[in-house]
Chain A
Amino acid sequence: MATAPAMVDVFPEEVKRGRIRTFIRRHPTIALGGFLLGVMVFLAVFAPLLMTSDPQALAPARRVRPPSAQFWFGTDMLGRDVYSRVLYGARVSLIVGIAVAVLASIAGLTIGLISGFIRAFDGIIMRIMDGLMSIPPILLAIALMALTRGSVQNVIIAITVAEIPRVSRLVRGVVLSLREQPYVEAAIAAGTTTPRIILRHILPNTLAPLTVQATYIAASAMITEAILSFIGAGTPPIIPSWGNVMAEGRALWQVAPYIVFFPAFFLSVTVLAVNLLGDGLRDALDPRLAKRI
């Protein structure tokens, strides 16, 4: 006669301690990444309140001033306040990063699911994706920008197109491996219909790797946006973005390095924050690691 061994309680007593402290201890990278990103979002949202002078106001009389109590990050060659421009630049970077991550994820998820489930389309779709991937993303984005006029919206579209192949490849790979999982076969044997299998068994299991990939895409989109703006193929010069500010300060690098330094520093910190968040999410979203303390 078979008897089941007594079930061992796998949940230890709930640790009675501050929830935030527990969270930081369990997921230090998410906490740090989230905090840094939170600061950037705060600066971007409240830029109109936090700025010290109009980021567009030209004042040739006070051009190329070093950082001081009045101009925290100094002024550029047209006398504009670098601090205020960097604050507004955070808006462009974050909007581009988030929008590209969301759009590329949605498009990539759709293409990846089709490719992974309808094998007839797989060859054609993946060859198109290979073709897109063979062009360096930055060149592809420049080419796409050359076809349109510079605007934040067009920058988002151009970078999204360049990022889609990576997402769809990832999703397709995950779908192909999930399809072979015994629990999917068991679901087929249990009479579950294909749409329900996708919704119940495939999609939820692609979301973890997709979320992680989306954060990396957000980080790389911010860098791409900065590069595009830096070389003058991105956000139009009337909108301050970190890439624009750096491009304008480039000629004065030896005289006034702070014009380039501050936007570059903010870009680095933001990208680092997003990447930390991605790394932390990757660890936290694994259901097998989730309950571990």
Chain B
Amino acid sequence: MNSGMMQAQNNAAPVAKRPLLEVNDLKKHFPIRSGFLSGISAYVYAVDGVSFSIDKGETLSLVGESGCGKSTVGRTILRLIEPTAGQVLLDGQRIDDLPASQLRPLRRRMQVVFQDPFSSLNPRLRVRDILAEPITNFGLASGKADVDARVAELLDKVRLPRDAMKRYPHEFSGGQRQRIGIARALAPGADLIICDEAVSALDVSVKAQIVNLLSDLQDELGLSLLFISHDLAIVEHITHRVAVMYLGKIVEVAEKRALFSAPKHPYTEALLSAVPLPDPTAKRERVILTGDVPSPIKPPPGCRFHTRCPHAFDRCRIDEPPLKAIAPGHLAACHLHDAGVMRTTPAAALV
């Protein structure tokens, strides 16, 4: 199933509104070697057929439990690791099969912000040199003074004082370091920023500041964001659309409001019911999943979620549900929505 194509069908003029990023059936299987000279004994199916697209200026959040492959998706799009199969199109151009030398100039357009603000900055470089690296790599400035001016501009953008330039990363707090990380991602003038759990390691108050900064920057610069996170409460604040991943596959994609108000996949429901509510007296149905996530080395046959799904029936154990449109712009991979099986949402089935 191909959400990128879905998107194109939904648009009246598909040529005019080409998505900035299109991912088609992306796969990443990590080989497991048992020892020196021995062959590949198994594969970890970290990402197993993921498709989505991101429009210009849009935020898509990729959510799921740890180990579901969401970070691998981000790293594969960036070609930090090579995809096993599938296509990645940046502004209509395939980048998944480009040789390194041809890919390098295109890297300018997509950047990354990592989770850990401590290991994402080289401890031996001053902030000025960290931010100057992408600028000089892509030849975006002429001369030292020009680089300095651009670095100062970047620090203004992420609201850090300009004298931060002369300092080393260890002189900053986690939130400040994350701002430096964001400034580095902005440095080459990227269109797409992949935020790989970019706020997960921060304190709650700092988290809010960084999330606000990201959405301000998005408005200011028209950035597209792929926001990888396990924190639905944060995702709700920043995103336009949400893609839910489970064990290497996307199980549901929808507009934020549709997903949060009427989830169509039992896994999404379970995730949403785990989000803490600010009102301690509020009551709601909690969906508690039993068991662990199955191993991505041996994913279960049929629907990958059937081992933990409260609504699983025979077909789920054999037949893998495709990701398909249930409502306009709302895709889910669940047999419960098939004609003839059940016309109700899983939420209704639960009551």
Q: Which A residues are within 8 Å of any B CB, using their own CB?
A: 1-5, 7, 10, 123, 127, 181-183, 185-193, 200-201, 204-205, 287-288, 291
Contacts and interface: CB of A to CB of B under 8 A. Distances in A.
Interface string B83-117: 00000000000000000000011011011101110
Contacts of A5: 173, 175-176
B36 A185 contact: no
Contact of A4 (B124, B160, B163): B160
Contacts of A288: 123, 170
B133 A182 contact: no
Given A2-B212, A4-B176, A182-B116, A187 B133 contact: yes
Interface residues of B toward A: which range? 35 or more
Contact of B119 (A7, A10, A182, A190): A182
Contacts of A183: 119-122
Contacts of B110: 189
B208 to A, nearest CB: 8
B157 to A, nearest CB: 11
Contact of B161 (A7, A186, A287): A7
A149 B334 CA distance: 79
Interface of B: 36-37, 75, 78, 80, 104-105, 107-108, 110-112, 114-116, 119-125, 133-134, 137-138, 158-161, 163-164, 168, 170-171, 173, 175-176, 179, 181, 184, 187-188, 209-210, 212-213, 216
Nearest to A192: B137
Contact of B114 (A3, A7, A186, A205): A186
Which of A127, A181, A182 has most B Cβ within 10 Å? A182
Contacts of A287: 123-124, 168, 170
A191 B80 CA distance: 11
A193 B171 CA distance: 28
B37 to A, nearest CB: 8
Nearest to B175: A5
Contact of B216 (A1, A181, A192): A1
B78 A189 contact: yes
Nearest to B188: A190
Given A185-B80, A185-B114, A287-B170, A190 B184 contact: yes
Nearest to A194: B100
24 contacts: A2-B209, A4-B159, A5-B175, A5-B176, A7-B160, A7-B164, A10-B171, A182-B120, A183-B122, A185-B75, A185-B80, A186-B114, A190-B107, A190-B134, A190-B184, A190-B187, A191-B107, A191-B134, A191-B138, A200-B122, A200-B125, A205-B122, A287-B124, A287-B170
Nearest to B116: A182
Contacts of B176: 4-5, 7
Nearest to A7: B161
Nearest to A123: B36
A181 B119 CA distance: 6
B249 to A, nearest CB: 25
Contacts of B179: 4
A51 B122 CA distance: 51
Contacts of B164: 7
Nearest to A178: B122
A159 to B, nearest CB: 29
A182 B114 contact: yes
Which of B114, B115, B133, B163 has most A Cβ within 10 Å? B133
A205 B161 contact: no
A188 B106 CA distance: 12
Contacts of A193: 104
A288 B119 CA distance: 12
Contacts of A4: 158-161, 176, 179, 209
Given A182-B116, A183-B120, A189-B80, A3 B159 contact: yes
A192 B159 contact: no
Nearest to B133: A190
Contacts of A201: 122
A190 B137 contact: yes
